Amino acid sequence: MSTSIPLTRPDDWHLHLRDGAMLKAVLPETARDFARAIIMPNLVPPVVTGADAAAYRDRILAALPEGMAFEPLMTLYLTEDTDPEDVAAAHASGLVKAVKLYPAGATTNSASGVRDFDRVRGVLEKMAEIGLTLCVHGEVTDSDIDIFDREAVFIDRVLDPVRRATPGLRVVMEHITTRNGVDYVRSNDEGLGGTITTHHLIINRNHILVGGIKPHYYCLPVAKREEHRLALRAAATSGDARFFLGTDSAPHTDANKETACGCAGCFTATNTMPLLAHVFEEEGALDKLEAFASKNGPAFYRLPENADTITLIKQDEPVAFPDKIETGEGPVTVFDPGFPVFWKVA
């Protein structure tokens, strides 16, 4: 017996594609199921100007295999030197769909991020005026703040003050990992959204640390206590239009993960839709999956929903996903949920 569900083709509202050989290997993993994705700009060096974004977009499209369709939605990496006029021009041309705020030092390749928020005030005001979304990596970086508290502290110290100081600014709090993040998004209406990753619906901090350290479950923001995972599940499966999928699929080679100072990032592009079907079914909310993966995101970004569909199929035998994908830089481990999955995309 198999069950099949058609779904408006989903989009990924937070994705790392990297560049070069890695880009070539990981792009088809996303393009197979997803029509569009918000492309993170944390390359080395970062994608800062409209010209950088145009060149990166061209490299992404050049890496797309023949016959596959995919639309990269480009972002700019906000620095203290970002020029509001360059941002406005990149938005007006249709190239750029969001600007990304990394607090300096918060995560992989974030050294050029913002230290002094007064220095980006002009850009934020321009963005509020033209309706361009600010995507936020919501963690403070102060060394005296515990890594498990950094998201909650960010809301009070940075996110809420920035939003109050810039009325009308549209903000996505990305990859929320806490009940605090869920509550903050829920307590605001117009102009604030929250993305949730696949893996944060599945793992809590025990998965990283119990029974030996598991580098492939380490990402930023780091997975929190079980109560937070449950809050994320409730939000994602609620149908609430403020929450939508941003996988934060973040490939690093095994050599860079399985080492004394391993990189942060889970690679979920390959099996995200089957894993989400599993999670939503577990929560008795399969009817809300389309809102989360295919409808709420375009509504927030004021883009049309995709016109075509994918089909999720549940089969009797567990689906065998690849353990790794090969890239020109070395193997990348595919996220292992730790349980059998019976769903696949037709």
Helix, strand, coil abundance in the chain, percent, nearest 5: 35, 15, 45
Is 312 marked as a binding-site residue?
no
**By the 8 A CB rule, do 135 and 100 touch?**
yes
Q: What is the DSSP string of 282-333?
A: HTT-GGGHHIIIIIHHHHHHT-PPPSSEEEEEE-SSPP---SEE--TT--EE
Is 21 assigned a ligand-binding role in the annotation?
A: no
> Cα–Cα distance between 161 and 78 in angstroms, integer?
18
* Residue number with CB closer to ligand NCD (36 or 252): 252
236 binds ligand NCD (CB under 6 A): no
Tell me the per-residue interface mask from 125 to 164 with ligand NCD, x by CB under 6 A, - otherwise: ------------x---------------------------
Check binding of 248 to ligand NCD (CB under 6 A).
yes
Per CB under 6 A, 264 contacts ligand NCD: yes
Q: Which is nearer to Zn ion, 8 or 110 (by Cβ)?
A: 110
The annotation status of 278 as a binding-site residue, yes or no, is: no
Residue of 5, 10, 23, 42 that binds ligand NCD (CB under 6 A): 42
Gap between the Cα atoms of 293 and 36, Å rounded:
11
Cα–Cα dist 201/78, whole Å: 28
**Residue among 41, 138, 194, 265 that touches ligand NCD (CB under 6 A):** 265
| 207 annotated binding-site participant | no
* Distance of closest approach, residue 92 Cβ to Zn ion, in angstroms: 26
The amino acid present at 213, given as its one-letter code, is I
Residue 16 lies near ligand NCD (rule: CB under 6 A): yes
Kindly state the smallest distance separating residue 264's Cβ from ligand NCD, in Å: 3
Residues in the chain: 346
The tokens for 172 are 């996505």
What are the backbone angles phi and psi of residue 4, rounded to the nearest 5°?
A: -135, 140
d(CA 202, CA 184) in angstroms, rounded, equals: 21
Q: Is 108 near ligand NCD (CB under 6 A)?
A: yes
Active site (annotated) includes residue 81: no
Site for ligand NCD (CB under 6 A): how many residues?
11
Catalytic residue from among 11, 52, 240, 248: 248
Catalytic residues: 248
